[in-house]
């Protein structure tokens, strides 16, 4: 693309920049107001072209021609070629930019794929790390539920036992009041039936 641009710039300005090689100069001008006589001037005279300045020649019909380092070229065709070359340069430049954009797009797509893969990998690692804790937590929850059930059952049994003990104490107190006060030792045979009734 750079070479094309240089060629276009060179062609655009070659009427000013182009310097005829010494081998093509027939007579060197010693007067700054006149120009060198060159092979191009002989060719122009032979084909009926007259020099009017700035490397521009004109024929008898008034058609203009441009002297280039390749010879004489119609001014119309010369300008067309300039526009074509400029269009080609712009197309090359756009194609180059499109190529760069596609390369960047592909690069970003690859980066996104890598990041997505890493994210997925991190999620899997995190899942593996937290899974044992989740299992432990679930186990603890189940154990707590079991303890709550056991506590409820124990509370119910305890209340039943306390109720039976209170009943036993009450009945014992009632019988104690009827026992002979002179006995120095409690006769448990008097309570045998109560103990048998509340054995559970």
Q: Tens digit of pLDDT for each residue in 42-85?
A: 888 888 888 888 788 899 888 898 888 777 888 888 888 888 98
Confidence (pLDDT) at 178: 59
CA torsion 173-175-179-183 (nearest 10°) is -50
Residue 16 confidence (pLDDT) above 50:
no
Confidence (pLDDT) at 14: 45
Confidence (pLDDT) at 192: 57
Confidence (pLDDT) at 46: 85
Is the entire prediction scored with pTM above 0.75? no
More confident residue, 165 or 175: 165
Lowest mean pLDDT among 60-69, 111-120, 180-189: 180-189
Determine the average pLDDT of the residues in 1-17: 46
Is 56 in contact with 65 (CB distance < 8 Å)?
yes
Burial class (CB in 10 A: 0-12, 13-18, 19+), 31: exposed
Give the CA count within 13 Å in the CB-facing half-sphere of 191.
19
Q: How many residues does the chain have?
A: 200
pLDDT-derived band at 91, boundaries 50, 70, 90: very high
Strands (E), the chain: 25-27, 37-38, 50-53, 56-58, 64-68, 71-74
Average pLDDT, the chain: 74
Helices (H) and strands (E) in the chain, counts: 4, 6
Rounded to 5 degrees, φ, ψ at 83 are: -65, -40
């Amino acid at each position: 693309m750079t070479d094309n641009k240089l060629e276009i710039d060179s062609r655009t300005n070659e009427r000013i920049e182009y310097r005829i090689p010494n081998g093509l100069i027939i007579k060197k001008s010693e007067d700054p107001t006149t120009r060198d006589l060159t092979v191009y001037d002989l060719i122009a005279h032979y084909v009926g072209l007259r020099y009017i300045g700035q490397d521009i020649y004109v024929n008898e019909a008034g058609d203009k021609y441009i002297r280039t380092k390749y010879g004489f070229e119609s001014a119309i065709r010369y300008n067309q070629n300039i526009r074509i070359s400029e269009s080609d340069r712009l197309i090359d430049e756009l194609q180059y930019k499109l190529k760069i954009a596609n390369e960047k797009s592909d690069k970003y797509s690859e980066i996104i794929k890598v990041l997505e893969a890493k994210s997925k990998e991190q999620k899997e690692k995190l899942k593996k790390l937290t899974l044992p804790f989740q299992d432990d937590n679930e186990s603890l929850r189940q154990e707590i539920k079991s303890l709550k059930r056991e506590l409820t059952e124990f509370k119910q049994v305890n209340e039943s036992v306390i109720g039976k003990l209170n009943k036993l104490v009450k009945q014992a107190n009632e019988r104690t009041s009827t026992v002979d006060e002179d006995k120095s030792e409690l006769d448990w045979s008097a309570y045998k039936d109560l103990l048998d009734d509340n054995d559970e």
